[in-house]
Amino acid sequence: MGNESTVLIVDDEPDLADLYAAWLRDEYDVRTAYGGEEATAELESGIDVALIDRLMPRMSGDELLSHIREAEYDCRVSIVTAVEPDFDIIEMGFDEYIVKPVQRAEINEVVDALLTRSEYEDKLREFFALASKRAALRTEKCPRELENSTAYAELTTEFERLRTDLERTVDQLRPRDLDAEMRQLDRASSQFD
């Protein structure tokens, strides 16, 4: 993924936020915020993944998460907290939930998984757009017209390349990631009901 991905760490305990930042700094552009209000300013600059503590004074992690979703920031969120999950998490719009204490490997794995999911989602969106264009052309054009079209040939090549990419990305996703992807799809489809 490289340094182009930006991770925001939000925790009211500066030592902990700085520790997570140190763990991730080699691979990502890392920003820290020591509270919810400070985090809202950082979000404006474009964040790919946010790791948010749940219990913070003034603006809780739950409130910050609601703000992120309401403002429709394109960012994956993991709650990183000492609070054991309870039924209230069902309605929350996070992508991962990690209970402290966490190890370096777990933080790295979660960030990597969330970025892989984002990449998968982007590719899937593009794949469906290409599939739709291809289907529309197949409905309207005769086989000979399709055969003679360079643009259609390029569309088909890109469609097949994306299909292969998606299959490769699915292989990289762990079962937990696939479950999360299915939840995302359920959330997205329920908006159309």
pLDDT by residue for the chain (193 residues), tens only, comes to 444 899 999 999 999 999 999 999 999 999 999 999 899 988 887 899 999 998 898 899 999 999 999 998 889 999 998 878 778 777 788 888 899 999 999 999 999 989 988 888 888 889 999 999 999 999 999 999 999 999 999 999 999 999 998 888 877 776 656 666 566 556 555 555 5
Which pLDDT score is estimated for 91?
77
- Asked if residue 130 belongs to a domain, the reply is yes
Q: Indicate whether 78 and 130 sit together in one domain.
A: no
CA-to-CA distance for 68 and 79, rounded, in angstroms? 13
Domain count, the chain: 2
The answer to whether the predicted template modeling score (pTM) of the entire model surpasses 0.85 is no
Strand partners, 76: 49
CA-to-CA distance for 42 and 116, rounded, in angstroms? 22
- Asked if residue 1 belongs to a domain, the reply is no
Strand partners, 7: 30, 49
Q: Indicate whether 11 and 99 sit together in one domain.
A: yes
- Asked if residue 107 belongs to a domain, the reply is yes
Which pLDDT score is estimated for 74?
85
CA-to-CA distance for 78 and 110, rounded, in angstroms? 8
- 82 Cβ contact partners less than 8 Å away, ≥ 6 residues apart: 54, 55, 99, 100
